[in-house]
Amino acid sequence: MSAESSVQLKDVDGATRTDDVAAEKASEATAMSQTDDPGRTRVRRRRRRAVVYGVLPGSVLILALGGGYLKWFASERGSDTDSEALRAATDSTVAILSYEPYTVSASLTAAKDRLTGTFKDSYSSLVDGVVIPGSEQKHISSEATVAAAAEMSSSDRHAEVLVFVNQTVSVGTDPPTNTASTVRVTLDRVDGRWLIAQFDPV
């Protein structure tokens, strides 16, 4: 092989290595820019907060369709819409999901009185360990409303109510996050009061 050929091969090989290094650096720079992008970081934080402090995410369209269905279902069941169990389910749902930073401890502690059984235990653990301190420290507030509700089944001591919930969560000065969910609320009658025994998103 001639000296000229050897030089040409060396130059080509050197150029290839240079291109590889440049490509690696470009890839690293892109990854770093994505990781360090403050906008992306804020979005991820908002999503995590919505999961922890809110219910399950939904959409305005689903809320409208689900609310319409529940109103129709409730009208089909007639007097069930005025039952004590249904009113307890809707009022208690709002109570356990709504709070303000400066009154969160009093509000959610009072809401525990609307619950019973293992659900009361798990709810108490969550609000005492996560929601109350998080709300006070990060100025988190939540406002829940019930768009529609229908009693699915009932007896003298047990009832199931389908509740369509709309919830707005605010974290500090960040824009509010709106979520919608459908929840099956199971209630037990204890000492003359309807208390939530289960709270299951569907």
Q: Domain of 83: which CATH number?
A: 3.10.450.230
In the chain, the number of structural domains is 2
Q: How far apart are CA 82 and CA 155, in angstroms?
A: 15
- Whether 118 is in a domain gets the answer yes
196 touches 114 (CB < 8 A): yes
Say whether both 22 and 84 belong to one domain. no
For Cα atoms 166, 190, 106, give the angle at the middle one, nearest 5 degrees: 50
Say whether both 27 and 78 belong to one domain. no
Say whether both 84 and 32 belong to one domain. no
Task: Give the closest residue to 95 by CA, choosing from 103, 46, 138.
Answer: 103
Instruction: Tell me the residue range of the domain where 67 lies.
Output: 57-201
- Supply the DSSP symbol for 175: P
Say whether both 108 and 156 belong to one domain. yes
Say whether both 63 and 148 belong to one domain. yes
Say whether both 118 and 177 belong to one domain. yes
Q: What is the pLDDT along the chain (202 residues), one digit of tens a residue?
A: 443 433 333 343 444 444 444 445 445 444 444 444 555 555 555 555 544 444 433 443 444 444 455 555 555 554 443 489 999 999 999 999 999 999 999 999 999 999 999 999 999 999 999 999 999 999 999 999 999 999 999 898 999 999 999 999 999 999 999 999 999 999 999 999 999 999 999 8
- Whether 192 is in a domain gets the answer yes
- Residue 77, helix vs strand vs coil: coil
- Whether 136 is in a domain gets the answer yes
